[in-house]
Amino acid sequence: MQELIARAVERLRGARRAVALTGAGISIASGIPPFRGKGGLWESYDPMEIASIEALLADPARVWKVLVKDLKAVIERARPNAGHLGLARLEALGILATVITQNIDGLHQKAGNTDVIEFHGTFAWQRCMGCGARIETHRVDDSVLPPRCACGGVLRPDAVFFGEMIPIEALVRAREAAERCDVMLVVGTSAVVQPAASVPVIARQRGAAVIEINPEPTPLTGVVSELRLPAAADEVLPLLLAELESRR
> Residues in the site for ligand APR, rule: CB under 6 A?
23-26, 28-29, 34-37, 40, 47, 102, 120, 188-190, 193, 213-216, 218, 232-233
Residue type, 242: A
How far, in Å, CA of 87 to CA of 230, rounded?
17
Q: Which of 84, 108, 120, 138 is catalytic?
A: 120
How far, in Å, CA of 81 to CA of 93, rounded?
19
Give per-residue burial for 142-161: e unless 16+ CB within 10 Å, then b.
Answer: beeebbbbeeebbbbbbbbb
- Tell me which DSSP letter residue 214 carries: -
Q: 177 vs 17, 110, 137, 208, 223, CA distance in Å? A: 8, 21, 29, 11, 21
Q: Which is nearer to ligand APR, 149 or 174 (CB)?
A: 174
Q: Which is nearer to ligand APR, 143 or 194 (CB)?
A: 194
Q: Which is nearer to ligand APR, 47 or 238 (CB)?
A: 47
Rounded least distance, CB 37 to ligand APR, Å:
5
State the CB neighbour count (10 A cutoff) for residue 109. Answer: 19
Nearest residue by C-beta to ligand APR?
25
Which residue stretches of the chain are H helix? Answer: 2-13, 41-44, 47-50, 53-58, 60-63, 69-77, 82-92, 107-111, 168-180, 199-205, 233-246
Q: Which is nearer to ligand APR, 150 or 192 (CB)?
A: 192
Say if CB 228 and CB 236 are below 8 A apart. no
Note if 108 is an active site residue: no
Rounded least distance, CB 225 to ligand APR, Å:
12
Rounded least distance, CB 81 to ligand APR, Å:
9
How far, in Å, CA of 204 to CA of 209, rounded?
6
Say if CB 4 and CB 239 are below 8 A apart. no
Rounded least distance, CB 73 to ligand APR, Å:
19
Rounded least distance, CB 207 to ligand APR, Å:
24
Alpha carbons within 13 angstroms on the beta-carbon side of residue 61 total 3
Q: Which is nearer to ligand APR, 86 or 146 (CB)?
A: 86
Active site members: 120
